[in-house]
Structure 1
Amino acid sequence: MRIAIVINKSWNIYNFRMGLVKAFLKLGHEVVAIAPEDEYSQKLVLAGCRYFPIEMESKGTNPLEDLLLTKRFYDCYRQVKPDVILQYTIKPNIYGSVAARLAGIPTINNVSGLGTVFIVRNFVSKVALKLYKFAFRFPSKVFFQNKEDRQLFLDHRLIKEQITDVLPGSGIDTERFKPAPVFTRNQRFTFLMVARVLYEKGVVEYVEAARLIKAKYPEVRCQLLGAIDESGNIGIKKSVFQAWVEEGAIEYLGTSGTVEAHLAKADCVVLPSYREGTPKTLLEAAAMGKPIVTTNVPGCRETVIEGRNGFLCEVRNSQDLADKMMRMYQLPAAELEQMGKASRQLAEEKFDEKYVIDKYVTAIQSITKYRLKSA
């Protein structure tokens, strides 16, 4: 069986979908990765995928370009001839769904996060909702990563309820991401945020909270790991971000292909995002037995049982974020260790990627003539 996985970046497939890819390969199926070419494209080939490049801007709303993108998807699908297509991110979900319908190939879509569509209400978001409503008539199945996102699509009448389902995020490889054998608390307590440098990730609130914390506890470290993204109106300018780093509010770690090495050194993982699907970084943190501070918003709050494995704060509220981070810092080592153990338990019971793989296997079996074994 030939399964195509379509996303806006090869990096995205390699970092977020490899568990699914490996499961399909292990079952003897051919996996075709369809995404724009980047430094991770060859890594997908080395991992056993067949790779097919496609030109695609992850952002932008030019109608002519979107029409051309639909044709590129159609030409690609006709050439690759997959038995089923798994699509992620907004442009494959919308334009890929139209192209797949024209090519006569069944699709399974994944709404991994709504981005600015429901965060910022403007002309572009209104157009996006109309496009979703049109395109989501065609998929055989649509997965959401939290129940609130699914309900929003149903409330806006963008999709038929019978084709929807909810996944536990992207799932997490609990074998790769695991706690250290022995718990240790850093002499200089270390908070770590793993995210792109975007406004909607809550970077501004994190910096402001770090200032408040360091004014009272100068020994505390507040680190950020993730790419600087100046695109559109959502990316923070490099010059602005660099000024925060030079000021000493936060430590910038750049980017890394081994995020687990940085997570292992943190005492607590923080993500003050405005909205998520289910953030992979928090699933990784939970699997590694790290306490979490995150916002009480869809996607993020699914990763925290308040007071058990972390604390929830108000969205866009740097003072409340700082209060929750300081509360975490003030915990005795024994309580911090118990929170970490609760995070690990939550990852194993709710977010293990085997649940995601099983859901996809079932969905593919229901819409194709093939019978897949469970991984």
Structure 2
Amino acid sequence: MKIAIVLNTSWNIYNFRKGLVQALLDQGHEVFAIAPSDGFSEKLSKLGCTYIPVRMDSRGANPLKDIFLIAELWHIYKKYKPDVVLQYTIKPNIYGTIAASLLRIPVINNVCGLGTIFLKDGLVSKVAMQLYKIAFHFPRKIFFQNNDDYNLFADKKLVKREICAVLPGSGINVSDFQPLQKTENQKKFTFLVVSRLIYDKGILEYINAIDTLKKNGIDARFQLLGQIDEKHKRGIPKKDIEQWIRQDMVEYLGTTEDVKQFISDADCVVLPSYREGTPKTLLEAASMAKPLIATDVPGCRNIVKNNYNGFLCKMQDANDLSEAMKRMINLSSDERNNFGLNSRTLVENEFDEKIVIDKYINSINEL
């Protein structure tokens, strides 16, 4: 079969869907990777995909650009004639589905998280819901990454329940992400946030929690790893990050193509996000047997089970986050190790990417 995979970045396909791509290629399928060009586009070609660039602005809504996106995807689908299109993230899910439906090409969609537009009940969220309702009339299958998102769509009658299923996120390659030895003998307890530096990931709450801990005499290391994204409308200005560094508030580690050693060197991985699908950063940390702290919101609470493998805290509450971080520091080494072992067990049992790959292959075979 000819199978197209459509996403908002090549980076996303390579880092989050590589296992699925490889499984499809191993079964003899021809895979088209359709996404904007970035540093990972060539890697997709080397993996064995046919890479096809597309212009797609993932940072906002521009009606004219979105109409052109429908037209561009329609031309791509018409030219390459895929037997099925697998789509992820909001723009491919909506506009790619419309384009494919015009050509009567079967679609399998994946709602990877609802993003910032669903955090507030405003005009933009209402428009997005109507677009979803129109587009989601056509897919053969719709996967969600957590029950909260699925129930929201089902309750608002944006989807037909009989074509929906909930996946354990993107899954994680538990063989690739295994516990590692630390590279340095650290005396200070180390917290790590791995995330794009946008407000909705709870970065400000993290900084404010750090400030509270420091004022209360907590001597620890606080790290940030992730891309500065000033072009995003919710992106944190670079000057603010530089100020935090000058104030010795946080260590900014930049970006990396391999997070494993950074996660390994941390004592606890934190994600104070406002809403997620199923966050890959927590899956990676859990698979590497790390204790976790995250907000009690959709997506995060799939992975962090309070007092089992970490602590949940209130959304947008720096004080509650600082209390959770303080509790983590005050645990004994054995208690933290047990949290980490529980993280690994949870991921092995519920989030192995083989579960996700099998469900996709079964859905493709049922078309």
**Smaller-chain TM-score range?**
over 0.9
Residue aligned with 1:117, SS: helix
Residue aligned with 1:85, SS: strand
How does 1:293-332 map onto structure 2 within 5 Å?
293-332=293-332
Residue aligned with 2:5, SS: strand
Report what 1:85 is aligned to.
85
Question: Which shows bigger deviation, 216-225 or 103-112?
Answer: 216-225
Q: Cα distance, 1:249 vs. partner?
A: 1.1
Cα 1:182–1:260, aligned 2, differ >3 Å: closer, same or farther?
closer
Distance 2:77 2:122 in 1: 33
Q: 5+ residue gaps in structure 2? A: none
Question: Which shows bigger deviation, 172-181 or 339-348?
Answer: 172-181
Percent identical among aligned pairs is: 53
Cα 1:11–1:248, aligned 2, differ >3 Å: closer, same or farther?
same
Report what 2:134 is aligned to.
134
Distance 2:19 2:220 in 1: 35
The letter of the residue matching 1:277 is G
Residue aligned with 2:306, SS: coil
Q: Cα distance, 1:125 vs. partner?
A: 1.5
Question: Which shows bigger deviation, 177-186 or 41-50?
Answer: 177-186
The answer to whether the 8 A contact 1:11-1:40 is kept is yes
Question: Which shows bigger deviation, 313-322 or 21-30?
Answer: 21-30
Report what 1:279 is aligned to.
279
The answer to whether the 8 A contact 2:182-2:264 is kept is no
The answer to whether the 8 A contact 1:116-1:125 is kept is no
The answer to whether the 8 A contact 2:97-2:139 is kept is yes
Report what 1:370 is aligned to.
none
How does 1:358-373 map onto structure 2 within 5 Å?
358-367=358-367
Report what 1:289 is aligned to.
289
The answer to whether the 8 A contact 2:10-2:41 is kept is yes
The letter of the residue matching 1:38 is D
Report what 1:23 is aligned to.
23
Report what 2:188 is aligned to.
188
Report what 2:207 is aligned to.
207
Report what 1:224 is aligned to.
224
The letter of the residue matching 2:228 is I
Distance 2:211 2:277 in 1: 28
Q: Deviations over 1:314-359 (max 9, x none)?
A: 0000000000011001111111111110000001001000000011
The answer to whether the 8 A contact 2:94-2:136 is kept is yes
Q: Cα distance, 1:37 vs. partner?
A: 0.7
Report what 1:371 is aligned to.
none
Q: Does 1:259 align with 2:259?
A: yes
Distance 2:63 2:26 in 1: 40
Distance 1:344 1:102 in 2: 44
Distance 1:195 1:146 in 2: 19
The answer to whether the 8 A contact 1:172-1:283 is kept is yes
Q: Does 1:118 align with 2:134?
A: no
Report what 1:334 is aligned to.
334
Q: Cα distance, 1:183 vs. partner?
A: 12
Residue aligned with 2:241, SS: helix
The letter of the residue matching 1:194 is V
Report what 1:13 is aligned to.
13
Distance 1:8 1:299 in 2: 20
Distance 2:115 2:3 in 1: 27
The answer to whether the 8 A contact 1:24-1:31 is kept is yes
Q: Cα distance, 1:232 vs. partner?
A: 4.2
Cα 1:212–1:99, aligned 2, differ >3 Å: closer, same or farther?
same
The letter of the residue matching 1:103 is L
Residue aligned with 1:221, SS: strand
Residue aligned with 1:31, SS: strand
The answer to whether the 8 A contact 2:110-2:143 is kept is yes
Report what 2:198 is aligned to.
198
Distance 2:226 2:232 in 1: 18
The letter of the residue matching 1:86 is L
Q: Does 1:95 align with 2:95?
A: yes
Distance 1:207 1:245 in 2: 11
Residue aligned with 2:293, SS: strand
The letter of the residue matching 2:250 is I
Distance 1:197 1:295 in 2: 17
Distance 1:343 1:102 in 2: 44
Residue aligned with 1:305, SS: coil
The answer to whether the 8 A contact 1:183-1:337 is kept is no
